[in-house]
Amino acid sequence: MQLRIRLFGEMKCPKAYRIRDFLQRNGMRFQWTEIAGNEDAQLHTGLDTLQDTRFPVLKIGDHTLYAPTLAQIVHTVGWATVPAEPRYDLAIYGAGPAGLSAAVYAASEGLRTVLIERFAIGGQAGSTSKIENYLGFPEGISGAELASRARDQALRLGAEILLAAECVGGRIDDGNFLGVPDSGETVLSRALLCATGVEYTRLNLEHEERLLGRGFYYGAGSSEASLCTGQVFVVGGGNSAGQAALHLASRASQVTMLVRGPSLKSTLSQYVDRIGLSYNIEVKVNCVLTGIEGGASLEKILYRTLDTDQEIEVDTGWVFVCVGGEPQTKWTDAEQLARDAAGYILTGIDLLQKKAAPLPWPLERAPYPMEASIPGVFVAGDIRANSIKRCATAVGEGAAAVASVHRYLSSIH
Ligand SMILES: Cc1cc2nc3c(=O)[nH]c(=O)nc-3n(C[C@H](O)[C@H](O)[C@H](O)COP(=O)(O)OP(=O)(O)OC[C@H]3O[C@@H](n4cnc5c(N)ncnc54)[C@H](O)[C@@H]3O)c2cc1C
């Protein structure tokens, strides 16, 4: 039976937004009550004023939590934040599609498996309202639902999942891998899978949090793209922006690219001609997005032309920001992991390409598919160099990485 969960707070309170986002993305049904003044505060929570620093208030069953941390919420609903076992066969960091898939396959194939996630299950995919291109869901499926199904499956098969546990460090300890979540506990494992993905570089515009997913997006999720009508804006001048513009142009009547620099990036060469030939793509160079506005959803944007220093206002319901992502490798011992120029982790035969790989592969045997430059460390999903940034490929890589983990574990017996 699901616990009754109620959240009380101010609509524009960032803490309340984070808790709402966390509950929603973890598939936890809850009732949100906006507290508009002191009377509401007293009526619903017993606190005298809305200014009380104990807001937002979260009621979970019989428990009342004041301005709770995510770890407190996870603990109260009965989920784990600290490891139960002294040592695992496989520790997986990041519970996006790649990490969840690896957890399902590893646990079902008899490996003692733990999955460690800093925020909510589902990763980037969990933030999208509908994934339209995932095999087997002809009507599409929300990222949060796909993720919570995968979580239930992984738990049923015996994987352990630690939520609200950000890994802040990792090292090798006597042949084992030691991960350090921010709780201060340590996670010991014989093999490690890094599936910590990518996070889009944020513009931090006013109203961004409110309009995110309501016409304002990071990346060009295929699901949103297929729903676009009218004029659409794409912010960025690199590969992902070019791909997005071409993709969106097949649906929208007009796509306008806002490019900060004087031209499209040279790395975009493969798309420049196609963009030039598209009758409904316009490229505006030397332009910077400066504002977004709207009520329930995005209604207009403001951008500045750097040449003439003019601020221009345009009505639109769709903006896709594709200014590149940052691979989430800070927690790893990045010095020891060979990465490409953009920071994505190199694996498998890529490690043997002398020109591309900055660190020598240390063993006589060749690296297994998806094995990083530290033997026993595997990488799957968006964070892996040369991976295809899609849900289905992340899921496939998670499963394939587990096959390599088996080979590695039998090689060290
Ligand atoms: C808005 C949007 C819509 C999309 N729509 C589609 C679509 O329709 N179809 C499609 O195929 N693809 C879509 N994509 C792309 C797809 O979601 C990604 O390719 C996929 O999620 C990558 O999975 P991943 O597991 O590699 O990484 P991620 O999904 O990035 O997951 C990585 C996880 O690791 C966690 N993490 C990071 N650092 C740490 C740490 N130090 N400790 C613990 N945990 C950590 C993160 O919190 C995150 O949960 C979309 C992406 C976005 C952003």
Query: What's the gap in Å between 336 CA and the centre of ligand 1?
Result: 24
Say what the pLDDT of residue 218 is: 79
- In tens, the pLDDT along 121-133 reads 999 888 766 677 8
C-beta contacts of 388-396 below 8 A and 24+ residues apart: 389/198, 390/133, 391/97, 391/125, 391/131, 391/133, 391/134, 391/146, 392/133, 392/134, 392/135, 394/96, 394/97, 394/98, 394/101, 394/125, 394/195, 394/197, 395/97, 395/98, 395/100, 395/101, 396/101
Contact (CB, 8 A) for 232 and 318:
yes
Which ligand 1 atom is the nearest neighbour of the CA of 127? 1
pLDDT at 383 over 90: yes
Helix axes 269-277, 239-249, angle to 10 degrees: 30
Mean pLDDT of 51-76: 95
The segment with the largest mean pLDDT, out of 14-23, 124-133, 222-231, is 14-23
pLDDT at 242 over 90: no
Cα 323 from Cα 389, distance rounded (Å): 15
Q: Cβ atoms within 10 A of the Cβ of 158, count?
A: 14
Which ligand 1 atom is the nearest neighbour of the CA of 116? 43
Rounded to the nearest integer, the mean pLDDT of the chain is 89
Cα 254 from Cα 272, distance rounded (Å): 17
Check if 162 has its Cβ closer than 6 Å to any atom of ligand 1. Answer: no
Furthest-apart CA pair in the chain: how many Å? 72
pLDDT at 225 over 70: no
- Looking at ligand 1, which residue's alpha carbon is closest to its atom 53? 124
- As a whole-number percent, the residues of the chain with pLDDT over 90 amount to 61
Query: What one-letter code names the amino acid at 117?
Result: E
Q: What is the DSSP letter of 48?
A: S
Mean pLDDT of 91-100: 98
pLDDT at 221 over 60: no
- Looking at ligand 1, which residue's alpha carbon is closest to its atom 12? 390
Say what the pLDDT of residue 156 is: 98
Query: What's the gap in Å between 147 CA and the centre of ligand 1?
Result: 11
Check if 131 has its Cβ closer than 6 Å to any atom of ligand 1. Answer: yes
- In tens, the pLDDT along 344-380 reads 999 999 998 866 666 789 999 999 999 999 999 999 9
Query: What's the gap in Å between 200 CA and the centre of ligand 1?
Result: 10
Check if 118 has its Cβ closer than 6 Å to any atom of ligand 1. Answer: yes
pLDDT at 253 over 50: yes
Better-scored residue on pLDDT, 312 or 333: 312
- In tens, the pLDDT along 66-91 reads 999 999 999 999 998 889 999 999 99
Look-up of token digits 């017996």: 413
pLDDT at 23 over 60: yes
Which region among 76-85, 153-162, 403-412 has the lowest average model confidence (pLDDT)?
Answer: 76-85
Query: What's the gap in Å between 184 CA and the centre of ligand 1?
Result: 25
- In tens, the pLDDT along 263-277 reads 886 556 667 888 888
Query: In sequence order, which ranges of 46-183 are alpha helices (DSSP H)?
Result: 70-77, 97-108, 123-126, 143-156
Q: Cβ atoms within 10 A of the Cβ of 205, count?
A: 18
Q: How many helices (H) and strands (E) does the chain have?
A: 11, 21
Check if 125 has its Cβ closer than 6 Å to any atom of ligand 1. Answer: yes
Q: What is the DSSP letter of 351?
A: G
Dihedrals phi, psi of 33, to nearest 5 degrees: -120, 120
Cα 125 from Cα 224, distance rounded (Å): 12
Check if 390 has its Cβ closer than 6 Å to any atom of ligand 1. Answer: yes
- Looking at ligand 1, which residue's alpha carbon is closest to its atom 4? 221
Say what the pLDDT of residue 20 is: 85
Band of pLDDT at residue 24, cut at 50, 70 and 90: confident
pLDDT at 219 over 80: no
pLDDT at 45 over 70: yes
Which ligand 1 atom is the nearest neighbour of the CA of 382? 26
The radius of gyration of the chain's CA atoms, rounded to the nearest angstrom, is 23
Say what the pLDDT of residue 4 is: 95
Say what the pLDDT of residue 282 is: 96
Query: What's the gap in Å between 97 CA and the centre of ligand 1?
Result: 7
Check if 113 has its Cβ closer than 6 Å to any atom of ligand 1. Answer: no
Say what the pLDDT of residue 223 is: 45
Are β-strands 287-294 and 298-305 bridged in parallel, bridged antiparallel, or unpaired?
antiparallel
Query: What's the gap in Å between 315 CA and the centre of ligand 1?
Result: 30
Query: What's the gap in Å between 54 CA and the centre of ligand 1?
Result: 32
